[in-house]
Amino acid sequence: MKFEWTRAALVLASLIGTAGAAQADRIKNPTAVFSGLDKITGRIVSFEVKVDETVQFGALQMTPRVCFTKPQTETPNTTSFVEVEENGTDGKVRKVFSGWMFAASPGLHGIEHPVYDIWLVDCKGGTEVIAEPKEVVEEPPPIEPTAQRTPAEDTPRPGGIMAPEEAARPLPPAPPLGTAPPQPRQPAQRPTRDFNRNAPLINTDR
């Protein structure tokens, strides 16, 4: 029993912690820090880019739109929405990447390019805290009292099961012990006539 209570307490604590992390506030930063790799030369370069500013890295042009971090009291989570384009040899611009980058997981949503690789390192310079909307717990609707049945509802409907009109009659009580069971009545026998075989026979032909 004690083990079950401990397990329930741990599950409740984990749920509360998850809800708190989902509702944590974010810090909006004006500058994003990236690292870039040239796969041909093997050189890694770190550089800073301001939000909504476009920089050139090799043949790629990248523009961070936002860069968020968490307060120090929260679990670190640095993210940035980045748009990356490439200038082709034919003069056309091709979009290479448009999405979120995560500093904790560089390979989760990375740039797929045969020559260059860019990933988010950090966000800096932010003081503006953006409050996340809190989840509103909806209250369940009130439970309506059960309506009492009226006599009209008790009337049988066509096709329904009808209750017997008369209650079952009780069985007669058993005879007391030690008494003989009553014998069935025999039908009264009519007295038979005793015909005298020696009596004369009367001829009715006369």
**Average pLDDT for 159-177:** 60
Phi–psi pair at 4, nearest 5 degrees: -65, -40
**More confident position, 3 or 64:** 64
Q: What is the pLDDT of residue 13?
A: 47
- Distance of alpha carbon 75 from alpha carbon 130, whole angstroms: 16
pTM above 0.75, yes or no: no
Q: Which helix (H) or strand (E) holds 64?
A: strand 60-69
**More confident position, 173 or 47:** 47
Report whether pLDDT(29) > 90.
yes
Q: What is the pLDDT of residue 86?
A: 93
Report whether pLDDT(123) > 60.
yes
Between strands 60-69 and 26-28, the pairing is antiparallel
